[in-house]
Amino acid sequence: MNEVLHHIRKAFLDRLTDNLSVGGIDVSVYNVIPRNASYPLVRMYSVANNEVDLNRSAFNLEAQVRLEVITRFDGNSGGELQANQIVDSILNQIRTRSASYIDLSAQGFNVYGITNEGVNYLQDDFDDHTYYRAIININVKAEKI
């Protein structure tokens, strides 16, 4: 079995880079958030890579990737709508029908399913800012070719 998660994250990053904005503000996507990052932003990271051997002739994998949308505002001045809009844009670009799945054939994988496993919304109130977070759980099914 091969590890597919880094290929999936790279394909998602390529798809989202320069294609993600809200209210005229570009939204950056990171794996590790730099100290000088501007908000809103998205943190993308691996969750799990599982082998589901449903087929005698090939390895089938289920990979879980998480995208965490983070908006930041002073006090309680808003931000949930902005998080909703960013989630909508991400899902429109990543959660597509089969004709537009990410192409990992050059890396030796055939993607045959991408599923939104749910979006959870959170609000964190701190002394300096209020953070609105939307955690998107994506499940990608791929076959080693």
Give pLDDT tens digits for 103-127: 999 999 999 999 999 999 999 888 8
The pLDDT of 2-28, averaged and rounded, is 93
More confident residue, 144 or 136: 136
Does the structure show a pLDDT above 70 at 1?
A: no
Q: What is the DSSP string of 37-96?
A: PPSSEEEEEEEEEEE----TTS-EEEEEEEEEEEEEESTTS--HHHHHHHHHHHHHHHS-
Could you tell me the pTM of the whole model?
0.90
Question: What DSSP element (H or E) covers 6?
Answer: helix 5-16
pLDDT in tens, 37-89: 999 999 999 999 988 766 677 788 999 999 999 999 886 666 789 999 999 99
Res. 138 pLDDT band, cuts 50 70 90: very high
State the DSSP code for 37: P
Residue 136 to residues 44, 49, 53, 64: CA-CA distances in angstroms? 9, 17, 26, 10
Contacts of 17 (CB under 8 A, 6+ apart): 29
Give the per-residue pLDDT at 57: 77
What whole-number distance in Å separates Cα of residue 37 and Cα of residue 28?
8
Q: What is the mean pLDDT of the chain?
A: 91
Q: What are phi and psi of 49, to 5 degrees?
A: -135, 105
State which fold the 5-144 domain adopts: STM4215-like (3.30.2000)
Cα 109 off chain centre by: 19
Residue 98 to residues 1, 78, 79: CA-CA distances in angstroms? 23, 36, 33
Cα 91 off chain centre by: 8
